[in-house]
Chains A and B, each alone.
Chain A
Amino acid sequence: MSDQDVLEPPESVAADERGLFGRLHRSTVWRSMFRHPQQDTPRGRALQGFSNFFLHVYPVKVPRRVLRNRYSWRLGFIAAVLFAILLVTGLYLMFVYTPSVGSAYGDMQRLKTGVGFGQLVRNVHRWSAHLMVLVVFLHMVRVFYAGAYKHPREFNWVLGLWLLLLTLGFSFTGYLLPWDQLAYWAVTVGTNLVQYVPLIGGQVQNLLIGGDQIGQSTLLRFYALHVAVLPSLLVLVLGVHIWRVRKDGFAVRRSHVGAFEEEASARPAAAAAAHAAPESYGGRVRLLGVVDRESVTAEARPVDDTVFTWPHLVVRHVVVALGVLATVLGLGVAFAAPLRGLANPNLTPEPAKAPWYFAGLQELLSRFDPLVAGILIPAGAVLAFIVLPYIDRNPATEARNRKVAITLFSILLAAAVVLTVVGTFFRGPGWKWIPPWDHWYVEL
């Protein structure tokens, strides 16, 4: 890029803009911050993208198909928006909350009675956390079905799995903080899973909860993990994850032979027709004789199907972000986050359920040996998904060409969903089968 591109002459920028804003946009101070004010030309938009930190998260142009909601269902973006909401609401909560066994529960009650909008902030934080677990999981499912974990995006799939685990860690550590019966027993059950790890299980569990039962040490270390360790890790991994997506231009195009093209120009139909020409003519004529001029031209100049990210994609993202915010606010107004009685180590509630995303694991544990159900199956599943893009060398992404992978994954997915639904909705005291229409034992 030449200097002329970088240093836009002031008169060409917002020159026709009148009034106070025009003067502001032409001022030296404004131009020191925004070197390329809005110019509604292709060059202006490109320069804006290059020079703006926030727009630089996006590539300057993306393939047109990225604009379709159906392309990705925007699940990754929705997860990122939920994370942002969680950061902001979490910050509010940090000003009220003290991670102490003596005061944590009182702080929760104070949120309800003594802090303006305190309960709403807590509700929004809780619903956003639940939704984030769900959305990140759905994002993974969708990426699998689209075959988007394949070369060259293997590593980004692995990073995505780490993000899912970090999200679960976030949700689980946050679960304890209200210090009520729900929190105490869900975390007791959850942390006791660790003891089934052979050899080091007991030691790891001790480190995790800081003693032989959940107490002040547990609350403090879960708090530290929740507000410092996990956010730092998640921001770091998420940064790399999004950077990779951006470098791939939000889309990677696969060609017919299974290789990838970095940018997403569609292969012109006319060029394909030219290759197919001998068959079309029954193979009786030479290629040289039948290639028409139009197809040669089309091959030399591929159709550009890309559009500028700003405003096309960014505007869609803003709409989605507002939709997500409206959804969690609506949920927060309609449904209060639960707060049961003060945590009591001597009173086991009936039933004591793990958080819903671990309810499938709890259901599995009630049926199989703990070593198998609590450790081998979940650890095996995570490991299998990590190595998946490296062992699945089939370059096809269409479902009809990857029947084995799709079938296996669908069976696993169905099992996980059934176990989670059964554990969450159909289990009562003593882990007995009690349908939700007989008695509602669900608490989120």
Chain B
Amino acid sequence: MSEPNRRKVLETGWKLGGALLFGAAGYTAYEALSPLSTGAAGGTITIGTPANFASGTSTYFAEGRFYVVNVKDQFFALSQKCPHLGCKVPFCDSSGRFECPCHGSVFDLAGEYIAGPSPRGMDRFFMNVKDGNLVVDTGALVTGPDRGTKTNFTPPTGPGCIGKG
């Protein structure tokens, strides 16, 4: 190892100083850009007793951006956001399915994948029962079921809204 001299020490000092400056600038940029928690999402929402939701229906909750569906008395809170590219997936009353108008992904009543480019079924929020009421936790998102899952398969009840279904 060669002897340290003034030139080398200064050179290393400049390099370290520069790295520190860039690191600090990068971290500050990251902090400035990181989303602030607004409190809009992540809370729990009480949506009423299970009896409010008839079997085979879907009910939309705008404040939590999710649908509550009753599939043969099994309840799911489905995120409205299409797993494909984030469009809002509307419920089609005639087919009884979720049909995304953006790219044509189709999901059955339980949010399981039927057709289209979506990589999986619709994501779900965690839900439990408290004092007889259904409570949806919008902070706990569960990744949707894989393609091919047919655990709660329901056939279409009629023609699709966007011609697929």
Q: Does A306 contact B (CB under 8 A)?
A: no
Q: Does A212 contact B (CB under 8 A)?
A: yes
Shortest CB–CB separation between residue A415 and chain B, in angstroms?
18
Shortest CB–CB separation between residue B121 and chain A, in angstroms?
15
- Encode contact with A along B82-101: 1 for CB under 8 Å, 0 otherwise: 00111111100000000111
Determine, out of A2-10, A320-328, A345-353, the stretch whose residues face the partner at the interface: A345-353
Determine, out of A59-67, A120-128, A185-193, the stretch whose residues face the partner at the interface: A185-193
Of A189, A206, A213, A430, which is within 8 A of B162 by CB?
A430
In the complex, what residues of B have CB within 8 A of residue A347's CB?
Answer: 88
Contact (Cβ within 8 A) B35 A430: no
Q: Does B1 contact A (CB under 8 A)?
A: no
Within 8 A of A (CB), among B43-86: 62, 65, 81, 84-86
Within 8 A of A (CB), among B85-143: 85-90, 99-104, 117, 119
Shortest CB–CB separation between residue B39 and chain A, in angstroms?
11
- CA gap between A435 and B86 in the complex, in Å: 26
Contact (Cβ within 8 A) B102 A370: no
Shortest CB–CB separation between residue B137 and chain A, in angstroms?
15
Contacts A193-B85, A346-B88: A365 and B101 contacting too (C-beta < 8 A)?
no
Contacts A189-B86, A193-B85, A352-B87: A217 and B35 contacting too (C-beta < 8 A)?
yes
Q: Does A366 contact B (CB under 8 A)?
A: yes
In the complex, what residues of B have CB within 8 A of residue A367's CB?
Answer: 117
Contact (Cβ within 8 A) A188 B164: no
Contacts A221-B33, A346-B88: A429 and B117 contacting too (C-beta < 8 A)?
no
Contact (Cβ within 8 A) A185 B87: yes
Nearest-neighbor residue (CB-CB) of A193 within chain B: B85
Q: Does B34 contact A (CB under 8 A)?
A: yes
Contact (Cβ within 8 A) A429 B163: yes
Contact (Cβ within 8 A) A211 B38: yes
Contacts A189-B86, A189-B102, A366-B104 supplied; 5 other A-B pairs, CB < 8 Å:
A192-B84, A345-B65, A348-B88, A430-B101, A432-B162
Which A residues lie at the B interface, using CB under 8 A? 185, 188-189, 191-193, 195, 206-207, 210-213, 217, 221, 345-352, 362, 365-367, 369-370, 429-432
In the complex, what residues of A have CB within 8 A of residue B89's CB?
Answer: 348
Question: Top 4 nearest A-B pairs by Cβ distance?
Answer: A430-B162, A192-B86, A430-B104, A350-B101
- CA gap between A59 and B112 in the complex, in Å: 65
In the complex, what residues of B have CB within 8 A of residue A185's CB?
Answer: 87, 102
Interface centre among A352, A365, A430, by most B CB within 10 Å?
A430
Nearest-neighbor residue (CB-CB) of B60 within chain A: A346
Shortest CB–CB separation between residue B82 and chain A, in angstroms?
8
Nearest-neighbor residue (CB-CB) of A347 within chain B: B88
Contact (Cβ within 8 A) B103 A362: yes
In the complex, what residues of B have CB within 8 A of residue A362's CB?
Answer: 103
Contact (Cβ within 8 A) B84 A431: no
- CA gap between A252 and B146 in the complex, in Å: 56
- CA gap between A127 and B99 in the complex, in Å: 34
Sample (25) of A-B pairs whose CB atoms are under 8 Å apart: A188-B86, A189-B86, A192-B85, A211-B35, A212-B35, A213-B86, A217-B35, A221-B33, A345-B88, A346-B62, A347-B88, A348-B87, A348-B100, A348-B102, A350-B162, A352-B101, A352-B102, A362-B103, A369-B119, A370-B117, A429-B162, A430-B100, A430-B104, A432-B162, A432-B164
Q: Does B24 contact A (CB under 8 A)?
A: no
In the complex, what residues of A have CB within 8 A of residue B164's CB?
Answer: 430, 432
Contact (Cβ within 8 A) A432 B35: no
Q: Does B19 contact A (CB under 8 A)?
A: no
- CA gap between A352 and B65 in the complex, in Å: 19
Contact (Cβ within 8 A) A210 B90: no
- CA gap between A349 and B100 in the complex, in Å: 10
Contact (Cβ within 8 A) B163 A432: yes
In the complex, what residues of B have CB within 8 A of residue A432's CB?
Answer: 104, 162-164
Shortest CB–CB separation between residue A246 and chain B, in angstroms?
31
Shortest CB–CB separation between residue A322 and chain B, in angstroms?
41
- CA gap between A33 and B88 in the complex, in Å: 61
In the complex, what residues of A have CB within 8 A of residue B162's CB?
Answer: 350, 429-430, 432
Nearest-neighbor residue (CB-CB) of B106 within chain A: A430
Contact (Cβ within 8 A) A348 B90: yes
Shortest CB–CB separation between residue B163 and chain A, in angstroms?
6
- CA gap between A250 and B156 in the complex, in Å: 65
Contact (Cβ within 8 A) A207 B85: no
Contact (Cβ within 8 A) B33 A189: no
Nearest-neighbor residue (CB-CB) of B117 within chain A: A366
In the complex, what residues of A have CB within 8 A of residue B87's CB?
Answer: 185, 188-189, 348, 352
- CA gap between A362 and B103 in the complex, in Å: 9
Contact (Cβ within 8 A) B101 A207: no
Interface centre among A188, A191, A217, by most B CB within 10 Å?
A188
Nearest-neighbor residue (CB-CB) of B87 within chain A: A348
Contact (Cβ within 8 A) B33 A210: yes
In the complex, what residues of A have CB within 8 A of residue B35's CB?
Answer: 206-207, 210-212, 217
In the complex, what residues of B have CB within 8 A of residue A211's CB?
Answer: 35, 38
